[in-house]
Chains A and B, each alone.
Chain A
Amino acid sequence: MTWALALSFIQGVASGAIRSGTSIFYAALGEVIVQRAGIVNLGLEGCMLVGACAGFIVASQTGNPYIALLIAAIAGGVFNLVLGLLVITRRANQLASGLTLLFLAYGLTSILGADYVGKRINGLQQISIPFLSDIPIVGQVLFQGDILWFAMLPMSGFVWWLLYRTRWGLSLRTVGESRVVAYASGLNPRSLQYQALFVGGLLGGIGGAQLSLSYARVWVEQMTAGRGFIAVALVIFASWHPVRAIAGALLFGGAIAFQLQLQARNASVSPFLLDMLPYVLTIVVLLIWGRNRQYQMPQGLSSVFEGTD
C-alpha cells in the first residue's frame, strides 16, 4: 500500500514537472537566444504575462486555442521590440529597462485582462499518443500532454540548429560576444539584436500562453508569479545552451510540482513555506552551478551583469 502511494506521488510529481516546466522551458529557450545576442531581458516575466493575457483573450473570443497560441507568440515578440527600442537604439541600462517593461506588462495586462477574470476557455487539448500512453506508469507521464510538451524536444533541437548550424546563429553569437568585432566584420549588430529579441519574445509569449491556455486555463493578474525570473536564472544554469534548458526547466517544474503534490496530500508543512521552494531552489542552484558557468557566458553579457554597461 505504501508502495502504491509512493508510486502515485512520484508519478504526480513527474507529470506535474512536465506540466509546470513547459512554460518555463519555452521562456528560457527564448532567453537563450536573446542572451546569446548580448542582451539580458529581465522583462521576460512581462513578456510571458503579455503572452498569457493575449492568448487567453483570443481563446475566449475565437474559441480556438491554436490561433490564441499564435497571437500570444506575436504579442510576446512585439512586446520585446519595445525593450529593443530602449536598450539597442537608446542604449539604456538593460536591467532597469527590462524591469520597467515588466511594470508596463503588469499594468497593461491588468487593464486588458480585467474583463476576462473568472472566464473559462477551451484550452489546448490533451493529446495521448496511442499505444505508447498505455505503457504502465511511464506512459501517462511521457506520452500524454498538450502540443507544447511534445514540441519541446524538437523546438530545442531547432533552436540549437539555428544558433550553431546557421549563418544567422553564428552572426548572432558574434554580436553577443562583441558588438565591436561583429560590426568590424561587416555585421549589423543592432538589426541582429532586434531579431534576437523578436524571436525570443515569440518563445516567451508561447511560454506565457502555455500557462493560461493549458496549465491553469484561467486568467489571473500576474499569474506568471516569478516564472520569468526563474527562466532567466535557468539560462545561466543551462550555460546558454538550448538543449540543456530542458533539464533545467524540468528541475524547476519538478520543484513546483513537488510542493503542489505535498499540499494536495495534506502534508503537515505550511503551504507558504512550501511555496518558497522554487525560488530558494533557484538561488541554491545558481550558487552551486552558476559560478562555474561564468566562463561560458557570452562576453557581451559580463558588462551587463557587472553593472559597467
Chain B
Amino acid sequence: MADALPVAAPQSLTPGGVKQVGVPWRQRLADQLPAGVAVGRFVGALVVALIGFAVVLLLQGRSPIDAYANMFSVTLGTAFGRSEVVVKAIPLMLCALAVAVPARVGLVNVGGEGQLYIGAWLATGVALGFSGLPIWLLLPLMLIASIVGGGLWALFPAVLRAKGWLNETISTLLLNYVATLLVQFFVFGPWKDPKSANFPQSPQFVDAARLPTFGAERIHAGLIFALVAVVVLFFILRQTRWGFEMRAIGGNPEAARRAGIRISTYIIGALVVGGALAGIAGLGEVSAIQGRLVPSISPGYGFIGFLVSWLAGHNPLLVVVMALLLGVLTASGDSLQISQHLPFASVNLLMALTLVMVLVQRGRPAEATR
C-alpha cells in the first residue's frame, strides 16, 4: 500500500552491509551525474507534454506532425523566426524574475501581467506628456516610470501580506483584471489617438520615446535590462546576506523571525522588486514593440513568465533557458493560428502540460501522513 509507513532505513545506510545493494539505479545515477539527470528528466517531461498535446491535436482532427513541423520551422528555421523567439523571451525573462524573487521568500506573485500593464501605462504617460524631451532624458524617465508603476502595483499586495491581512496570491491575481481594465479605459478614453478612426490605441510615440533595437530585427534594448537583471539577481540571491536571509525566510519563516530577520521588510522588498521588473517588461512592449499603448499590450507574458519561473525552479540563470524555450512556444502560437486554424491560446496547453510533468517529477515522494 502506498500509505504504509516507511518499512526500514535504506539498505545503503545499514552498517556492515554491502554498500550499493538496494540503492536504486536511478539514485546511483543521480549521485554521480546530477546535472545530466536533471536535463534528462526535463527533456522527458517535455517529450511527454509534446505527446499529450499531439493527442489533443489528433482528437481535433489535426495532424500533429504538420503542426509541430510548422511550429518549429517557423520559429527556429529562419533568422527572423529565431529573432522573434528572443523578442518574446525578453518580457518572459523579466516576468519570470518578477515571480522568482518573491518566491525566494515563499511568496506567490501571480500579478506579473497587471504589473506589466501598469508599467507600460505609466511609461506611456511619460512618453505622451513629455514628448518634447531629448531621447537621453525621455527614455530614462520612461524607464523610471515603468519601474515605479510595476513596483507600486505590487506594493499594495505586499503591504497587505506583510501586515498579515490578505494573501498575496489572491490580491495580485485580482489586481491583474483591474490593471488591464485601467489600460483599456485610457486607450478607449483620454489617450485615444484622434487620428485612428475606430482603433482603441494611444497616439504613436515620438522617436525619442522608442527604445533602440538591434539592426533590422525587433530585438530591443530590453534584452540588456533583462540580462543585467538576471546576473545581478543571481549574485544577490547567491552571494549576499540579503540572498541568504531571503532563503532563510523561504525555508522556515518562524526560525528566520526568531533569528532577528525583518520578515515584513523582505516581503515588501521582494514583491516590489518583482513588480518593478515586470513593469520594465511593459516598457519594452510599449516603447520598442508597439510604439504606442494598445489594449492587448501583452499576450499573457505575465502568466507565461509564472510558468517560466516555476520551470526554472526560481533560479535566475535557468530562467534565461526556460524563457527562450517558452519563447519558442509563444512565438509558435501564431503559426498554430495561421496553419492549423487553432486559437492562439492553444499553446497554453503545451506549456501547462510541460509544467505539470515537471511538478510531478519534482514533487516530494509522499510520506505516509503528509
CB-based contact B356/A82 at 8 Å:
yes
CB-based contact A100/B170 at 8 Å:
no
Q: Please, what's the 1-or-0 string for B149-165, where 1 marks a CB less than 8 Å from any CB in chain A?
A: 00000000000100011
Which B positions have Cβ atoms within 8 angstroms of A? 2-3, 56-57, 60, 105-108, 110, 160, 164-167, 169-171, 173-175, 177-178, 181-182, 184-185, 188-189, 250, 252-253, 303, 306-307, 310, 341-353, 355-356, 359-360, 362-364, 366, 368-370
CB-based contact A100/B106 at 8 Å:
no
Residues of B within 8 A of A308 (CB): 106, 252-253
Residue of A with least CB distance to B348: A107
CB-based contact A179/B356 at 8 Å:
no
Residues of B within 8 A of A110 (CB): 342-346, 348-349
Residue of B with least CB distance to A115: B60
Complex: how many Å from CA A144 to CA B103? 48
Main secondary structure of the interface of B (DSSP, over half): helix
CB-based contact B167/A283 at 8 Å:
no
Among B160, B171, B173, B355, the most chain A Cβ lie within 10 Å of the Cβ of B173
Residues of A within 8 A of B341 (CB): 114
CB-based contact B348/A106 at 8 Å:
yes
Checking A96, A103, A279 against B177 with a beta-carbon cut-off of 8 angstroms, the contacting residue is A279
Complex: how many Å from CA A108 to CA B181? 26
Complex: how many Å from CA A141 to CA B164? 40
CB-based contact A108/B369 at 8 Å:
no
CB-based contact B345/A229 at 8 Å:
no
Interchain residue pairs A-B with the least CB separation, the first 6: A107-B349, A90-B363, A307-B106, A107-B348, A110-B345, A103-B352
Q: How far is the CB of B328 from chain A (nearest CB, A)?
A: 16
CB-based contact A306/B253 at 8 Å:
yes
CB-based contact B342/A283 at 8 Å:
no
Checking A107, A190, A276 against B345 with a beta-carbon cut-off of 8 angstroms, the contacting residue is A107
Judge if A166 is at the interface, Cβ distance under 8 Å: no
CB-based contact B355/A100 at 8 Å:
yes
Q: A100-B355, A283-B174 are contacts. A90–B3 as well, Cβ < 8 Å?
A: no
Residues of B within 8 A of A272 (CB): 181-182, 184-185, 188-189
